[in-house]
């Protein structure tokens, strides 16, 4: 009976070690993805700001009469 108990204990210890390894791996993936998300959000904010600046510059040029005109062939 004690042999069976020792085997069961070894199986449980093995499973626990595997689960700890899996949790550590998942934690590393989540940490990396969080950093990437932060970088992507910052990049998106920069692109959005540039687009707004470009849009504002384009509309102010259009108001002054120096904006884009339709080519004569249209």
Contact in structure between 68 and 62 (CB atoms under 8 Å): yes
Handedness of CA 31, 32, 33, 35 (dihedral sign): positive
Provide the whole-model pTM.
0.61
To the nearest 10°, the Cα dihedral for 14, 19, 25, 30? 180
Handedness of CA 53, 54, 58, 64 (dihedral sign): positive
4-26 pLDDT per residue, tens:
999 999 999 999 999 999 999 99
14-62 pLDDT per residue, tens:
999 999 999 999 999 999 999 999 999 999 999 999 999 998 888 876 5
Contact in structure between 67 and 58 (CB atoms under 8 Å): yes
């Amino acid at each position: 009976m004690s042999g069976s108990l020792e085997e069961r204990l070894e199986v449980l210890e093995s499973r626990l070690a595997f689960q700890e390894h899996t949790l550590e791996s998942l934690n590393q993936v989540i940490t990396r993805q969080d950093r990437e998300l932060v970088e992507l959000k910052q990049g998106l904010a920069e692109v959005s700001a540039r687009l707004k600046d470009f849009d504002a510059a384009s509309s102010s040029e259009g108001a002054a009469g120096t904006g884009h005109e339709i080519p004569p062939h249209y």
